[in-house]
Structures are given as C-alpha cells and as structure tokens.
Amino acid sequence: MSAAVAGEVRQGLFSHFGRDFTASIVVFLVAMPLCMGIAIASGVPPERGLVTGIVGGIVVGMLAGSPLQVSGPAAGLAVIVFEFVRENGLEALGPVLLLAGVLQLIAGALKMGGLFRAISPAVVHGMLAGIGALIVIGQFHILFDEKPLSSGLQNLAAMPARVFGLDFSNAASTEMALGVGLLTIAVMLGWEKLRPKSLTLVPGALLGVLAATGVAWGMGLDVARIEVPASIAAAFTFPTSASWFAPLANPSLVVAALAIAFIASAETLLSAAAVDRMHDGVRTQYDKELRAQGVGNFLCGLFGALPMTGVIVRSSANVQAGGKTRLSTIMHGAWILGFVALLPWLLREVPMAALGGILVVTGWRLVSVKHVTHLFKAHGPLPAAIWAATFVLVVTTDLLTGVLVGLALSVVELLPHYRHLRLKVNEHDEGGATRVELNGAATFVGLTRLNAVLEKQPADRPIHLDMDRVKAIDHTTAETLSEWISRRRKGGQNDRVTGPDAILRPLPLAS
C-alpha cells in the first residue's frame, strides 16, 4: 500500500473509533442540558432544541468543513429567537429559519466564508457579552418558576421584586424552585473547582441537573418541570400547506432571516477558528463549513426547530475528550436521538429551574471582561469603546442594532488610513523559506486575502512575515496575525516577523 493511500485510510471516519466513541459520550452529556436550556431561553419548547442538536450532530457533522466543531442550538441566538417568537409567533420561525439556511448556502457557494472572519473581534465579543447579560437577567426569573418579561430592561427592573417577594417562613413553589436552581449552580461551580483530574471530562452541568432532579423527585417538590412529547416523532413538525411560507412575504421577517444568517455564520466561523487553535489536526474549510450550516438551518426550519451554529463549549469538550474525526460529532447527535426516543419520561422529571441555573452560568461566562481588557491594553481605547457600545446597545435596544452600530464604529479605525486601504500581499521564494510581504494598511478590508495566503503556507517550511512596508494595522488584523503567529510557533516553526515597532507592538511573540 502506498504512503498516500495508507495516510488516506488512517484519516478515515473509523480510524480513531475508540477515542471518537468516548468523546461523543462526553459531548452528548454536555449538549443535552444545553439544548433544552437554550430552547427554554429562546421561548420555545425544549424538544425544539433537542431536534437542533440531533440535526447539528448527525447531518452537519457529516458535511462540516470543521470536523471537530460541534453544532447545535447556541446561546448567542437565544435572545433574537425569543424576541422573534414573542412578536411573530412560533409558527413563523420555521420559514424564516429555512430562508436563513438558504442564505448561508448561497454565501458558502459564493466563497464568502472568509468575509465573516474579518468582523471586528470587538463587535463579536461585545455582542456575545450583551447576549450573556440578557440571558442572565432573563433566566433569573426562570429560577423563580416565572416567565421572563419582554425586554432586557424590563427583566432587569423586575429582579428586585422577585428577591424581596420571597418568604422562606412559608416556603411555596417559588422558594423551592429557587432552591433547586441555586443547587444546580452550586454543584456546577463546585464540581468545576474541586473535581479530581481523573474525572475532568465529567461535565458540571450534567451533575447539576442530576442533583436538582434527584432532590426534586426525592422530596416530591411542587416545582415546574420541562415538558417533552411522548414520542420523538412529535418533536419534528413539517409544513402542512403552501400557507406555511406566507411569513416570507413580510419584509421585516426577511430582515430577521438575514440577521439570523449573519449572526449564526459569524459565530460559527469564529468558533471554528478557535477550535483550530485547540488541535493540530485538519484545518477548517470555512466555505464548506458555511454550506454545512446552511443545510442544517434549512432542515431545522423545515422541522420547526431552533437555529444552529457551531458552538465553542461543545466543540472544546470534543477536543479535550480526545475526538479525532467527525465521527464523534455524528455519534453525539445519535446519542441525543436515542435518549429522547427511549427515555422521554426521564426528561420530564427535570425541573425548569435547573435549566435556568445552567443558563445563568452560561450567560455569565459570555460576559467576559477579559476580552475588553485585552482589547484596551493591546490596541487602545477605540476597540474597547466599540466593545462597550455594542454591549450596551444589545442590552438596552436589540441585537441587530448593537451589531450594526458596532460594525459602523469599527470603520472609524479606517479613517486615518483611507489613502492606503489597499493591502498588497506578495509571496517570495527565498530558497528554504517563504517571505510573505505586506504593503499598505493592514485592516479588515484586506483580511480575507491575507488569511488565504497565510493559511496555505506549509507547516514544514519557515515563513518570514515581512511587515516593513505596513503603514498601519487595525485591531482585527492584529488579533488574526497574533493567532496565526502563536499557532505556528506552538507547532515548532522557526518563523520570523519583522516590521516597525509600532506595528509589531500588539503582536505577541513577534521578533
């Protein structure tokens, strides 16, 4: 057998079956409570989130351009879906999500995957932090067995009344639900701090749900529990007539489809880039990943499920658990399908407050102050201001307004360099090394071309990144180059980076 054929066999779907099998179980245990919790945070029945997890695992796992990335319902879209369902009804979500999937398919076919990677990190992290804050203040009310209100500010304003309305001298369902939710949070956080190294892969969220469910069942607590259909087939809803497509005649719903497609694509591709930094295996094919997400969201729309993205929590669990091929992702979807089909009665014992507790922790972690601190220290006040503006507007107005304003503000970085916005990227063969020469302003405008050149460089050949003729660099390009440099040097490459001190200053490990 030739070396090429042997390598191909070795990289086959079942070439690492043992490690993929164990990783799939870990990802399944992480995904189950998140699928249901995100569905509830989105204002839809929990089985809709499980259907998205099944499609994201089995279908998108087979088609993905990022083999180790896991797709499913994401906290990043929970807020926009909640608002959409509240204003337009659950029946309008299916056709809008189907259209969003078609838009992603078109974007992938037009090779637009690289464009989403040029979105300002300040905007992305500000958006995720705003979403995290909205999830926390919304799920706070779920801890009391109450429904979230219609806006973030209303939820925030109602929080003191929930706390002062407690009466532990006459504990009723509200107080018991809060106790169950706090127990879930305490077990999650306690396990993550105290767990032994031999049990690192056991997810705290699962233990939190098990503890809360066990207490609620054992003590017969009168708290709200999740509702799931008796049959998995009932979780899949299909179009019954041509009128199912009627919402697509409404221009505002088409705009909603565009927003879902944009945010889902950006979150997916940024997550894929993060997953690439966690392992040394196959790199992501961004356009292929975008097309796979389009197929997944198309099917989720057809089945009446939640929108999906690539999700970093489940993806990192996959890598840390030893996943090597897309089989681990596919199998985790099969485990969800089998569990929901065979054990729906068990899911009905899970308290709503337990899932609220999981989402409170998940949302809190999205509000990562370290991102804005890093942006300020490495790149100055403007990126930090973009982060803050995006965060505040997402919380106080809506997701789309916050993102659009953040993108508009990121253009301000270009204004001092508008005469040199064109970035030339040239490759020169210098014997045993390749010199990649940059000329002009290194901004997000030229980042797609720059990424394409950098990522095709072979791992076993030294690179000289020549930035002597770079006149300016924005934070988006600086962050991208930092990640590329760090990945190359972690892999042991003897690369060089040269250029003016002002350009190199925000790049770690540059010399």
Query: Residue 431 contacts by C-beta under 8 Å, 6 or more apart in sequence?
Result: none
Whole-number Å distance between alpha carbons of 187 and 139: 18
Whole-number Å distance between alpha carbons of 43 and 146: 12
- Residues of the chain falling short of pLDDT 70: 1-11, 509-511
Instruction: Enter the tokens of residue 281.
Output: 């295996």
CB 261 within 8 A of CB 236: no
Q: What is residue 466's DSSP assignment?
A: E
**Residue 492 buriedness (CB in 10 A; 0-12 / 13-18 / 19+):** exposed
Whole-number pLDDT of residue 266: 87
Whole-number Å distance between alpha carbons of 468 and 503: 9
CB 87 within 8 A of CB 79: no
Whole-number pLDDT of residue 498: 93
Specify the residue for token string 């032994």: 196
Whole-number Å distance between alpha carbons of 208 and 186: 8
CA distances from 327 to 15, 18, 200, 308, 404 (A): 10, 10, 22, 19, 37
Phi, psi dihedrals of residue 99, rounded to the nearest 5°: -65, -40
Under DSSP, is residue 467 helix (H, G, I), strand (E, B) or coil?
strand
Q: What is residue 351's DSSP assignment?
A: B
Greatest Cα pair distance, the chain, in angstroms, is: 81
Instruction: Enter the tokens of residue 112.
Output: 């637009």
Whole-number Å distance between alpha carbons of 41 and 37: 6
Whole-number pLDDT of residue 1: 36
Cα–Cα nearest to 28, from 5, 43, 50, 46: 50
Q: What is residue 321's DSSP assignment?
A: T
What's at 241, amino acid-wise? Answer: S
Q: Which helix (H) or strand (E) holds 442?
A: strand 433-442
Which sign does the torsion angle of CA 345, 190, 355, 403 carry? negative
Instruction: Enter the tokens of residue 471.
Output: 């006149």
Give the HSE-up count for residue 443: Cα atoms under 13 Å, Cβ half-sphere. 18
Whole-number pLDDT of residue 478: 93
Whole-number Å distance between alpha carbons of 208 and 190: 10
Q: Where are the beta strands (DSSP E) in 197-353?
A: 309-311
Cα–Cα nearest to 23, from 283, 320, 277: 320
Whole-number pLDDT of residue 509: 54
The pTM of the full predicted model, rounded to 2 decimals, is 0.82
For 421-504, CATH number out of 3.40.50.1950, 3.40.30.10, 3.40.50.720, 3.30.750.24 equals 3.30.750.24
Q: What is residue 225's DSSP assignment?
A: B
Domain boundaries, the chain: 16-353, 367-415, 421-504
Instruction: Enter the tokens of residue 20.
Output: 């993929």
CB 81 within 8 A of CB 148: no
β 433-442/424-430 pair status: antiparallel
CB 395 within 8 A of CB 367: no
Query: Residue 407 contacts by C-beta under 8 Å, 6 or more apart in sequence?
Result: 119, 120, 123
Q: What is residue 413's DSSP assignment?
A: G
Whole-number pLDDT of residue 289: 95
Cα–Cα nearest to 136, from 215, 75, 92, 69: 75
β 424-430/463-473 pair status: unpaired
Instruction: Enter the tokens of residue 127.
Output: 């958006």
CA distances from 482 to 367, 386, 477 (A): 23, 20, 8
Whole-number pLDDT of residue 11: 57
Whole-number Å distance between alpha carbons of 248 and 299: 17
Instruction: Enter the tokens of residue 262.
Output: 């944009």
